[in-house]
């Protein structure tokens, strides 16, 4: 198996989530040892999972830190066994040893001042770091949301353009509406074709066509010299009831009709499945 | 700035203050994971105390070459929380507390960081079925076959969904 295929197979994700079988675990670990790419991918997955988990973080209740610290008192040392005697439960933090002070008073004040200043600086730097990290997550979140908004905006723009185009096409002086009325089969269905011999465009207003069964689709036909010409199948989308009929423009239709066909459409219309039909007015 | 390596070195020397630093840095994440699993603030508080005790006691077994400290600590939190849910005491308790927790959560809508930093929306954008695999595996400690049963999908699909979920998350965190 090539390395890339192995990396993208999903086994590494399985491993990181602790779901891999013992055999798989051995295999992944061997692969990671041999191939730095595998190791890197593992690290990446882990980092992403950790971030996701971290995003579920919750501010712990006040006082929990104190409880945690209290529990530590009396806890055995965190050192590996045998490396230290038990007296040194909490060795002091590394501290600055003042150099042989000549004047003890001033020196110890200086030490305190220096210590306090260092501590202050450490706290400040830590707080700053923490804030910077939080800000980074916020920026990423904002960027992501921005990207979503931009996409939404583009989708809206495209939709608005389409509506504008439809509006222009239908208002055009040469546009002829062809009302298609229901056959006995069609019940109260109707639909309208907007046919424009100058702009060479055809629009179909779905009017009141029902949603067909899953294995059926409506198909639009133009009748030219008494013969049906296929104008394509279409979906009944309630939210978007005007659709542009692409494909070849029909020059001299006498009528338009819609039939219900098996999914994918038919070569020639099933005449007993005609739902709506309408003649094109002459002139 | 306190480097993580310094914190770990201090922990390995048995420095209790270092645990305070770890708490400040990762307390919210660890508490969040535990709370997510045990679903009870009261139980979570106890488990979190155990978690820090375990971190302190077992730091000797943490190997920096094998992974990040954060991952290691998260694992301890996760395992401790899952263990806690398996005790019989917990099971009895859960019945009476579940309702309380729901009320608590509803009345503290800004309780999680996810809300605070607007990540909830992102997390919600994850396909539900992708997120569920992570949640079952990570937060609930399900095994492969338990996930297959719970979601009624073969292992191949579990793999695919995990991969897609991580891919989605990479866009946000990567």
Q: What is the domain partition of chain B in residue ranges? A: 1-109, 112-174
Q: Flag if B162 and A64 touch (Cβ within 8 Å).
A: no
Residue A3 Cα, gap to closest chain B Cα (Å):
16
The reported pLDDT for the residue numbered B44 is 92
CATH numeric code, B112-174: 1.10.10.10
Report domain extents, chain A.
3-46, 175-279
Question: Average of pLDDT values for B112-119?
Answer: 47
Interface check for A10 against chain B (CB to CB < 8 A): the answer is yes
Cβ distance A57 to B112 less than 8 Å, yes or no, reads: yes
Is residue A84 within 8 angstroms of chain B, CB to CB?
A: yes
pTM of the model: 0.46
Q: What is the pLDDT of residues B60-74, one digit of tens each?
A: 988 887 778 888 898
Positions in chain A whose pLDDT score sits under 70: 1, 74-107, 238-240, 283
Does B118 sit within 8 Å of A145, measured CB to CB? yes
Q: For residue A190, which phi and psi values (nearest 5 degrees)? A: -155, 165
Stretch B128-141: mean pLDDT, rounded? Answer: 82
- CATH classification code of B1-109: 1.10.1740.10
A32 in B contact zone (CB under 8 Å): no
A81 token code pair: 């066994």
**Other C-beta atoms within 10 Å of A111: how many?**
15
Does the beta carbon of A88 lie under 8 angstroms from any beta carbon of chain B? Answer: yes
How many CB atoms neighbour CB A108 within 10 A? 12
| Domains B1-109 and B112-174 agree in fold | no
DSSP letter at B32 equals: H
| pLDDT at residue B8 greater than cutoff 60 | yes
Could you tell me the end-to-end alpha-carbon distance of chain A, in angstroms, rounded to an integer?
70
Give the residue from chain A lying closest to B79, CA to CA. Answer: A18
What per-residue confidence (pLDDT) applies to A95?
A: 34
HSE toward the beta carbon, residue A37, CA cutoff 13 A: 7
3-state SS record for chain A: CCHHHHHCCCHHHHHHCCCCCHHHHHHHHHHHHHCHHHHHHHHHHHHHHHHHHHCCCECCCCCHHHHHHHHHCCCCCCCCCCCCCCCCCCCCCCCCCCCCCCCHHHHHHHHHHHHHHHHHHHHHHHHHHHHHHHHHHHHHHHHHHHHHHHHHHHHHHHHHHHHHHHHHHHHCCCEEEEEEEECHHHCCCEEEEEEECCCCEEEEECCCCCCCCCCEEEEEEEEECCEEEEEEEECCCCCCCEEECCCCCCCCCCEEEEEEEECCCCCCCCHHHEEEEEECCCC
Which 179-208 residues of chain A touch chain B by CB within 8 A? none
The answer to whether the CB atoms of A144 and B171 lie below 8 A apart is yes
Nearest CA in chain B to A69: B20
Is there a contact between A53 and B144 if contact means CB atoms under 8 Å apart?
no
Q: How many CB atoms lie within 10 A of CB A239?
A: 4
Predicted local distance difference test score (pLDDT) of residue B120: 60
A39: which residues sit within 8 A by CB, 6+ positions away?
Answer: A32, A33
pLDDT of residue A90: 36
- Burial code of A68-102, b = ≥16 C-beta within 10 A, e = fewer? bbeebeebebbbeeeeeeeeebeeeeeeeeeeeee
Q: Cα–Cα–Cα angle for B78, B130, A12, nearest 5°?
A: 65
ipTM: 0.74
Distance from CA of A239 to the nearest CA of B (A): 24
What number of other Cβ atoms are within 10 A of residue A125's Cβ?
12
Most A CBs within 10 Å, among B80, B137, B173, to test the A interface: B173
Q: Which pLDDT score is estimated for A76? A: 55
Interface test with chain A among B38, B52, B81, by most A beta carbons within 10 Å: B52
């Amino acid at each position: 198996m090539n390395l890339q295929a192995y990396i993208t197979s999903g086994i590494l994700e399985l491993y990181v989530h602790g779901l891999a079988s013992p055999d798989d675990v051995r295999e992944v670990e061997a692969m990671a040892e041999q191939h730095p790419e595998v190791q890197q991918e593992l690290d990446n997955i882990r980092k992403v999972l950790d971030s996701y988990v971290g995003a579920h973080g919750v501010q712990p209740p006040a006082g929990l830190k104190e409880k945690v610290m209290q529990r530590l008192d009396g806890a055995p040392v965190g050192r590996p066994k045998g490396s230290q005697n038990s007296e040194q439960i909490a060795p002091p933090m590394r501290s600055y040893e003042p150099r042989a002070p000549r004047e003890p008073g001033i020196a110890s004040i200086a030490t305190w001042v220096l210590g306090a200043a260092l501590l202050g600086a450490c706290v400040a730097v830590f707080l700053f770091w923490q804030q910077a990290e939080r800000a980074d997550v916020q920026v990423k979140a904002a960027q992501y949301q921005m990207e979503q908004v931009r996409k939404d905006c583009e989708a809206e723009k495209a939709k608005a353009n389409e509506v504008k185009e439809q509006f222009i096409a239908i208002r055009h002086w040469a546009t002829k509406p062809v009302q298609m009325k229901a056959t006995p089969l069609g019940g109260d269905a109707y639909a309208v074709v907007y046919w424009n011999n100058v702009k060479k465009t055809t629009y179909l207003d779905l009017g009141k066509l029902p949603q067909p069964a899953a294995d059926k689709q409506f198909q639009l036909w133009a009748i030219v010299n008494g013969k049906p010409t296929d104008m394509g199948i279409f979906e009944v989308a309630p939210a978007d009831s005007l659709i542009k009929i692409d494909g070849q423009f029909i020059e001299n239709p006498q009528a338009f009709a819609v039939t219900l066909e098996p999914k994918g459409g038919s070569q020639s219309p099933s005449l007993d499945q005609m739902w709506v039909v309408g003649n094109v007015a002459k002139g | 700035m306190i480097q993580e390596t310094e914190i770990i070195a201090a922990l390995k020397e048995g420095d209790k203050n270092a645990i305070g630093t770890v708490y400040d840095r990762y307390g919210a994440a660890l508490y969040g994971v535990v709370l997510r699993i045990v679903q009870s603030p009261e139980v979570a508080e106890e488990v979190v105390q155990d978690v820090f005790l375990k971190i302190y006691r077992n730091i000797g077994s943490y190997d920096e070459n094998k992974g990040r400290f954060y991952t290691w600590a998260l694992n301890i939190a996760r395992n401790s929380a899952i263990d806690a849910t398996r005790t019989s005491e917990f099971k009895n308790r859960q019945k009476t507390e579940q309702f309380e927790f729901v009320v608590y959560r509803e009345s503290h809508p800004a309780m999680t960081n996810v809300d605070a930093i607007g990540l909830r929306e992102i997390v919600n954008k994850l396909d539900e079925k992708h997120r569920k695999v992570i949640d079952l595996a990570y937060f609930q400690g399900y095994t492969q076959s338990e996930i297959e049963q719970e979601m009624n999908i073969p292992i191949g699909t579990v793999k695919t969904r995990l991969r897609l979920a991580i891919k989605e998350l990479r866009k946000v965190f990567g």
